[in-house]
C-alpha cells in the first residue's frame, strides 16, 4: 500500500467517524518553544492548554513534522527520519480511552477491502502506563488482545506531557511484531526493532505541576475535560505494509537513494549495518525530503535559527554526495525526485518547484565553491595533528576553515569526529569573538576602499538625479558621469557597454516591482540604447547603455527619451497591479496584504499574504471586480503629502520600507485604491484595458501569487483561448458551449474502455497461471516455478500472477519465482507455500541468493518478497541460484 493511500485511509476513517479533517499546519508556527513543528498535536496546543475554545469536538490530521535534535545520527539507524508525517485523531472533551482504542483497533485490523490497513491482530502488542490498568482492561475487552501481549511500562516510556505545567496523561502504544528474523521474542520491553511502534494514544486526563509524572511525580489534579491526542507514524506503517525492512526502502524515500546511486555510481545496501556508503545514502534521502519541505514552507538558508538548520541539511547532502563520488551538482535532481514523489500529498512541492530548486541549488553552488579547498586544508591539518600524536584539532584551524572557507563549525566537528579527533571549541569561540570586534572597528574603512562605492559616492555628493518621467517622456539633460568596469571614464566609443549618470532623466529606474524603462539617449552624432536603469542610494539614476553610434563624453548635453510603447505598457501593468490589489482586499478582506510584485508591459504578478489557495469562484470574482474598476474609468490622481497625513487617509504603505517624511500617494477611484507608490501610472483606470487572471499559486508559506495580462496582451491571450476553444469545438463537431459536456462524456467513455481493457488483460494474465503451474520442476522436496513471466505481464502484475500460481499448489511445498524482462529493469516476485516454509525456505532469503546476478535489490516477508534488478541478462543465472539454494535446503 502506497504512503499516499495510507494517509488517505487514515483521514477517511476518522472523517467517517465524525471528525473534522484539519489540514497540516506549516512546519513554522509562531511558537517560541519550537524551531519547527515536531508533533501532530502542536497546532491544537491552544485547545489542550485551554487558551482557546476548540471549534469542533473531534478532529483528525496528517501533520508534517521535523525533528533535528540529532542530525548526526541520521542514517545510522533505519527507522528514524528528520521529516516525518504524523497522522492523528484528537478529542477535546468528547470520547476518551475506549473511543480512542476502538478507533485505532478498527483501522489497523480492518481488511484493506473494508478501508483498513489489514494488520494481523495476532501480531499486535500494546504497552500501557504502569498505573493504568483501565487501558489494559479496555484492550482485552474491546480488541481481544490477550494479557500476555499487553505490557506495562513506567512514566519515562508511557506518560506524556508538554514538558511544562499543564495537561498530561498516560499513553498506550501500539506495536507490530515483525517476526523473529528482526530480533528477540518478548514484546516491546525486550526489543523495539522487532516490535515496531506504530501508534501512540495519549489519554490526557491529568494536570501536571512543576514536576512531571514521567519522572514518577504525581499529577496535581485532574483536567475538567478529558482529551485524546494520538500520533501514528505514517512512514512506519508504510514500512510494514510495503513489506520492506526499513523506512529508507519505502516508496517515498527509496527513489531519492535510487537517484543518488545513479548520480554517484555507488550501490546502496538495505541492511541495518553502518557501512559508510549506506549511511551517506540515507543522509541524502532523509535530508533531501526535509530540505524541500522546509523551503516550501518559506525557510531560506541562513546563519542562525531555522535558516542555519536548513543550510546544514543541504550542505550535508552535498558532502555525502561528493564522498559517494558525485562530480556534478545534485540538488536539482534530488529536489525533482522529492517533488515527484511527495507532491500528491503536498502540491506546493510541484507548484513552487522552481523556487525550491533555486534555493537548494544556490546553496549547493555556494558550498561547492569552498568545499574542495576547505577539505584539502582540513585533511592537511588532521594529518599534522596525528603526526604529532595529538587528538585535538586546534581552534585556530577550525577558525580558518570557518572564516576563510565558509565551513560551519558543526561541519568541522563532524569531519573531525569521523577522523577520530575532537576540536578545541573554546579556542574557536574566542577567535570568533575577536574577529567580530575587528569587523566592527574597520567596517567603515573597508567600505570606503571599494572602488565602485567611491565612484558613486563622488557623484552622489554632487546631488540627486531629477526624475522628470511623471510629466514628460523626453528630457534635456547633462552627462555628469560615465562609468565602465567600475571606474570613471571621460568618454566611450561605439560598441562600448557603459553606465551613464544624468542630472535629470525621464526614464524610470526599477523599483516597487516596476521594471525600468527602456529608451535612448541622443546628441549630435551620438546614439545610446538604454537597456536598464537602476538607483544608487535611492537618488542617483544609473543608465546602463550600449553606445550604438558616435562618442559620448562626460559633460555632454543630451536628450533622454523613453520608449513610449514600453512606458504605456508599463503603466498599464503597474496600475493594473493596484486594481488587482484593491479587488483582492475587497473580496478577501484586509489580511490580503501585498508581499511583492512585478509589473512590466502587458503583464503583472502580485504576491499577497494568504493561507490556502483561492477557489475558482473567488478568482472569478477578483477578476470581475478588477474589470469593473477598469470599466468605471476611475481618474488616477497622484499627490505628495506628509507620511502621517497619508496614513491617516488610509493609504497603504507596503513592504516595510523606510519612507521619508514626504511621500507620493496614488489614488484610483477615491476609496477604491490608495497606496504609497513612486511608480508611473495611467491617467484613468480604463487605460489599463481588460485584465485577465492567468492563475493563482503558492510561492511559500502563507504567500500566494496571482498573475495577469493587461491591455492588448490580455486581448491577445483571450483571442488565443477563443481560437483554441473553436478548434476543439470543430474537432468534436459541437458548439463551443457544448465542449465541456462533450469532453466530460469522452473522458467517461475512455475510463469505461480502460476498465474493460483491464478486465481482459487481467483475465489473460490469470489464464497463464495454469501453464506456469504445469511447468513446475522438482528440486529435492520442493516444486519450483522459476522463469520469465509471459509477454504482456507488467511489473505490477507479477505479484498477482505469482500469488495465483502459488495458490494452485495447495498444501504442497512450492516456490514461485517470476521475472519480468520486458524493460531495462528486471522486476521480480518470489512466493512460497506454507509447506515450503515448513522446510525453512523463506522468500526474502531466496532474493538475497539470486539478486547479485541481476544487480537487484528487494525483500519482504517469508511468504512473499519482491524487488527489481538492472541486468536482464542475469535472469538465467538467478534461476540457477534459486535451484542451488533449494537443493541444499530441501533435499
Closest CA to 762 of 793, 802, 732: 793
Retrieve residue 162's grid coordinates.
Answer: 508538554
DSSP β-bridge partners for residue 570: none
Cα–Cα dist 887/891, whole Å = 6
Cα–Cα dist 534/473, whole Å = 17
Taking the CA atoms of 646, 648, 650 and 655 in sequence, report the sign of the dihedral they define.
positive
Instruction: Report yes or no: 438 and 470 within 8 Å, Cβ to Cβ.
Output: no
Taking the CA atoms of 736, 737, 743 and 749 in sequence, report the sign of the dihedral they define.
negative
738 contacts: CB under 8 Å, gap ≥ 6: 729, 732
DSSP string over 216-262: TPPPSEEEEEEEEEEEEEHHHHHHHHTT-SSGGGSTTTHHHHHHHHH
Helix 616-631 crosses helix 564-588 at what angle (to 10 degrees)? 130
574 marked as part of a ligand binding site: yes
Neighbours of 727 (CB within 10 A): 10
Strand pairing class (159-161; 150-153) = unpaired
Chain centre distance of CA 190: 37
Retrieve residue 736's grid coordinates.
Answer: 463551443
Strand pairing class (166-177; 159-161) = antiparallel
Strands (E), 187-304: 195-208, 221-233
Cα–Cα dist 891/781, whole Å = 6
Q: Which helix (H) or strand (E) holds 570?
A: helix 564-588
Residue 491's SS3 state is: strand
Closest CA to 229 of 205, 204, 208, 206: 204
Whole-Å CA distances, 553 to 325, 495, 542, 809, 850: 55, 14, 16, 95, 80
Taking the CA atoms of 51, 53, 58 and 61 in sequence, report the sign of the dihedral they define.
negative
Instruction: Report yes or no: 531 and 511 within 8 Å, Cβ to Cβ.
Output: no
Neighbours of 545 (CB within 10 A): 24
Cα–Cα dist 356/703, whole Å = 14
Retrieve residue 276's grid coordinates.
Answer: 559508510
Name the phi and psi angles at 441, rounded to 5.
Answer: -70, -40
Cα–Cα dist 323/671, whole Å = 62
**Which DSSP state fits 140?**
I
Closest CA to 512 of 666, 727, 643: 666
Cα–Cα dist 258/281, whole Å = 9
Retrieve residue 385's grid coordinates.
Answer: 595533528
Strands (E), 444-539: 466-467, 474-484, 487-489, 491-492, 497-502, 504-505, 519-523, 526-536
Cα–Cα dist 253/114, whole Å = 27
Strand pairing class (540-549; 526-536) = antiparallel
80 marked as part of a ligand binding site: no
- CB hemisphere CA count around 358 (13 angstroms): 6
Instruction: Report yes or no: 39 and 65 within 8 Å, Cβ to Cβ.
Output: yes
Name the phi and psi angles at 633, rounded to 5.
Answer: 55, 50
Instruction: Report yes or no: 518 and 530 within 8 Å, Cβ to Cβ.
Output: yes
Instruction: Report yes or no: 322 and 305 within 8 Å, Cβ to Cβ.
Output: no
Annotated binding-site ranges for Zn(2+):
574, 578, 677, 681
Annotated binding-site ranges:
574, 578, 677, 681
Amino acid at each position: 500500500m502506497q504512503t499516499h493511500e495510507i494517509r488517505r485511509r487514515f483521514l477517511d476513517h476518522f472523517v467517517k467517524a465524525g471528525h473534522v479533517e484539519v489540514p497540516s499546519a506549516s512546519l513554522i508556527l509562531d511558537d517560541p518553544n519550537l524551531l519547527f513543528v515536531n508533533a501532530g498535536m502542536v497546532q491544537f496546543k491552544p485547545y489542550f492548554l485551554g487558551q482557546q475554545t476548540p471549534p469542533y469536538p473531534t478532529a483528525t490530521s496528517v501533520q508534517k513534522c521535523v525533528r533535528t535534535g540529532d542530525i548526526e545520527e541520521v542514517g545510522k539507524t533505519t527507522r528514524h527520519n528528520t521529516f516525518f508525517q504524523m497522522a492523528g485523531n484528537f478529542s477535546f472533551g468528547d470520547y476518551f480511552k475506549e473511543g480512542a482504542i476502538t478507533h485505532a483497533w478498527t483501522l489497523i485490523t480492518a481488511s484493506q477491502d473494508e478501508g483498513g490497513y489489514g494488520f494481523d491482530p495476532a501480531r499486535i502488542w500494546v504497552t500501557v502506563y504502569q498505573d493504568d490498568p483501565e487501558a489494559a482492561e479496555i484492550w482485552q475487552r474491546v480488541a481481544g488482545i490477550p494479557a500476555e501481549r499487553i505490557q506495562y511500562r513506567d512514566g519515562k516510556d508511557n506518560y506524556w506531557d508538554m514538558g511544562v505545567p499543564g495537561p498530561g496523561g498516560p499513553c498506550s502504544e501500539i506495536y507490530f511484531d515483525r517476526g523473529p528474523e528482526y530480533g528477540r521474542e518478548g514484546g516491546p520491553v525486550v526489543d523495539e526493532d522487532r516490535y515496531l511502534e506504530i501508534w501512540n494514544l495519549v489519554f490526557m486526563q491529568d494536570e501536571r505541576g512543576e514536576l512531571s509524572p514521567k519522572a514518577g511525580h504525581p499529577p496535581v489534579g485532574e483536567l475538567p475535560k478529558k482529551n485524546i491526542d494520538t500520533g501514528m507514524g505514517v512512514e512506519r506503517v508504510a514500512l510494514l505494509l510495503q513489506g520492506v525492512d526499513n523506512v529508507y526502502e519505502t516508496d517515498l524515500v527509496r527513489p531519492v537513494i535510487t537517484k543518488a546511486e545513479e548520480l554517484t555510481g555507488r550501490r546502496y545496501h538495505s541492511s541495518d549495518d553502518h557501512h559508510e556508503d549506506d549511511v551517506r545514502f540515507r543522509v541524502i534521502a532523509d535530508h533531501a525530503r526535509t530540505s524541500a519541505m522546509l523551503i516550501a514552507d518559506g525557510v531560506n538558508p541562513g546563519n542562525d535559527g531555522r535558516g542555519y538548520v536548513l543550510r546544514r541539511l543541504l550542505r550535508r547532502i552535498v558532502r555525502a554526495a561528493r564522498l559517494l563520488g558525485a562530480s556534478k551538482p545534485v540538488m536539482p535532481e534530488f529536489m525533482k525526485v522529492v517533488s515527484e514523489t511527495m507532491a500528491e500529498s503536498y502540491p506546493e512541492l510541484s507548484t513552487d518547484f522552481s523556487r525550491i530548486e533555486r534555493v537548494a541549488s544556490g546553496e549547493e553552488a555556494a558550498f561547492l565553491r569552498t568545499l574542495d579547498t576547505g577539505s584539502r586544508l582540513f585533511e592537511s591539518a588532521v594529518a599534522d595533528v596525528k603526526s604529532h600524536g595529538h587528538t585535538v584539532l586546534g581552534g585556530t584551524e577550525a577558525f580558518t576553515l570557518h572564516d576563510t572557507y565558509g565551513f560551519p563549525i558543526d561541519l568541522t566537528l563532524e569531519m573531525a569526529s569521523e577522523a577520530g579527533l575532537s576540536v578545541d571549541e573554546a579556542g574557536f569561540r574566542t577567535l570568533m569573538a575577536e574577529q567580530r570586534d575587528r569587523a566592527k572597528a574597520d567596517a567603515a574603512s573597508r567600505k570606503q576602499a571599494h572602488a565602485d562605492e567611491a565612484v558613486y559616492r563622488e557623484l552622489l555628493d554632487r546631488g540627486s538625479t531629477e526624475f522628470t518621467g511623471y510629466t514628460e517622456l523626453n528630457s534635456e539633460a547633462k552627462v555628469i558621469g560615465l562609468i565602465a568596469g567600475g571606474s570613471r571614464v571621460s568618454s566611450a566609443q561605439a560598441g562600448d557597454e557603459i553606465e551613464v549618470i544624468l542630472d535629470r532623466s525621464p526614464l524610470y529606474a526599477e523599483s516597487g516591482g516596476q521594471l525600468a524603462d527602456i529608451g535612448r539617449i541622443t546628441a549630435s552624432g551620438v546614439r545610446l540604447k538604454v537597456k536598464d536603469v537602476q538607483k544608487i542610494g535611492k537618488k542617483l539614476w544609473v543608465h546602463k547603455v550600449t553606445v550604438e553610434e558616435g562618442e559620448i563624453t562626460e559633460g555632454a548635453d543630451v536628450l533622454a527619451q523613453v520608449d513610449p510603447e514600453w512606458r504605456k505598457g508599463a503603466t498599464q501593468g503597474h496600475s493594473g497591479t493596484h486594481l488587482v490589489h484593491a479587488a483582492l482586499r475587497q473580496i478577501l478582506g484586509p489580511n490580503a496584504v501585498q508581499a511583492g510584485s512585478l509589473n512590466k508591459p502587458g503583464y503583472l504578478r502580485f504576491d499577497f499574504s494568504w493561507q490556502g489557495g483561492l477557489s475558482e469562484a473567488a478568482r472569478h470574482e477578483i477578476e470581475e471586480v478588477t474589470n469593473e474598476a477598469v470599466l468605471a474609468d476611475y481618474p488616477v490622481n497622484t499627490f505628495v503629502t506628509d507620511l502621517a497625513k497619508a496614513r491617516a487617509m488610509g493609504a497603504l504603505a507596503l513592504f516595510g520600507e523606510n519612507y521619508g517624511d514626504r511621500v507620493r500617494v496614488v489614488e484610483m477611484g477615491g476609496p477604491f485604491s490608495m497606496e504609497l507608490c513612486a511608480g508611473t501610472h495611467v491617467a484613468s483606470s480604463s487605460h489599463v484595458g481588460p485584465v485577465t487572471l492567468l492563475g493563482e499559486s503558492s510561492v511559500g508559506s502563507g504567500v500566494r501569487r496571482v498573475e495577469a495580462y493587461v491591455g492588448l496582451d490580455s486581448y491577445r491571450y483571450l483571442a488565443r483561448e477563443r481560437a483554441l476553444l473553436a478548434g476543439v469545438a470543430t474537432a468534436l463537431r459541437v458548439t463551443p458551449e457544448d465542449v465541456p459536456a462533450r469532453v466530460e462524456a469522452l473522458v467517461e467513455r475512455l475510463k469505461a474502455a480502460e476498465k474493460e481493457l483491464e478486465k481482459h488483460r487481467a483475465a489473460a494474465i490469470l489464464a497463464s497461471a495454469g501453464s506456469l503451474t504445469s511447468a513446475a520442476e522438482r528440486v529435492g522436496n520442493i516444486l519450483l516455478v522459476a522463469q520469465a513471466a509471459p509477454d504482456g505481464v507488467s511489473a505490477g502484475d507479477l505479484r498477482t500472477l505469482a500469488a495465483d500460481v502459488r495458490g494452485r499448489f495447495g498444501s504442497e511445498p512450492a516456490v514461485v519465482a517470476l521475472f519480468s524482462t520486458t524493460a531495462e529493469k528486471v522486476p521480480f516476485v518470489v512466493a512460497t507455500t506454507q509447506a515450503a516454509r515448513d522446510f525453512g525456505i523463506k522468500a526474502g532469503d531466496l532474493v538475497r541468493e539470486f539478486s547479485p546476478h541481476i544487480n537487484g535489490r528487494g525483500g519482504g516477508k517469508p511468504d512473499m518478497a519482491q524487488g527489481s534488478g538492472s541486468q536482464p541478462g542475469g535472469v538465467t543465472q538467478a534461476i540457477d541460484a534459486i535451484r542451488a539454494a533449494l537443493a541444499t535446503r530441501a533435499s
